[in-house]
Amino acid sequence: MKRKLNEHDVPESAEGGKDKTSKPSKATFADFDLEPRLLQAINREKFATPTPVQAQGVPLALSGKDVLMRAKTGSGKTLAYLLPILHHILRRKASSSAGQK
């Protein structure tokens, strides 16, 4: 499904209407099923809940979809891009070291 941003920078399907696949704003980082070490780091940094850009972007990136995000400075875009990358690196590293035993 193609997505575009509306005049309020909210993702919508290209056909129009609200995007029904986005997570509600009450999402938590634990909902993303991230690598436990990432969740520990998030807790250590005292991030309480994902920002809207993270709540919408992280699940898409974790599922292997291409993601293009646009939001204001300080909205959490960098973490939204990095969490899925780090998650996949840590999982790949764990699976390759398990295979060497």
CATH number at residue 51: 3.40.50.300
pTM of structure: 0.69
Domain assignment present for 37: yes
Query: Which residue range forms the structural domain that includes residue 86?
Result: 28-99
Give CA separation, 68 vs 19, 24, 54, 56, 87, in Å. 15, 19, 12, 11, 18
Domain assignment present for 17: no
Whether the pLDDT of residue 18 is over 70: the answer is no
Supply the mean pLDDT for the chain.
Answer: 84
Distance CA 84, CA 57 (A): 9
For residue 14, what are the contacts with CB-CB under 8 A and spacing of at least 6? 1, 2, 3, 4
Whether the pLDDT of residue 69 is over 80: the answer is yes
Whether the pLDDT of residue 62 is over 60: the answer is yes
Note whether 38 and 90 are within 8 A (CB).
Answer: yes
What is the structure's pLDDT at 39?
Answer: 95
Domain total in the chain: 1
